[in-house]
Amino acid sequence: MNHARIAAEALRFRLGTFASGTADQGNGATAQDSWFDATEAGEILAACGDPGVDSALRLLGETWQAAGLPVSTMDRPWSAGDAARLRTVGGVRLLDTRDELVTGVSRCRLPH
């Protein structure tokens, strides 16, 4: 299981909820791809060791399993169906978890 890729997919999914950031650019890329590198952010989060990030990743994994999704697909692009099941099972707590990952990028990127 690749925690950096899981974090990257969670970030892509969270940022995808902002309609202005997901407009198709005609080549399969979205506007969000040009201003945010989710792969790099996922690597930062996985290497960080921040307790909030670690807790968020753990809760994300628990929610993924509670939604009945195959663990082996968690670090691959999430389908719309995966996202819907996660939202149904995780509710607001899941949004808070993904937001913890978003804010964790800033905390982990800055020197302590």
Inform me whether the pLDDT recorded for 99 exceeds 80.
yes
CB 31 within 8 A of CB 21: yes
Bigger pLDDT: 35 vs 96: 96
CB 105 within 8 A of CB 41: yes
30 strand-pairing partners:
24
CB 108 within 8 A of CB 48: yes
Bigger pLDDT: 74 vs 110: 74
- Mean pLDDT across the chain: 81
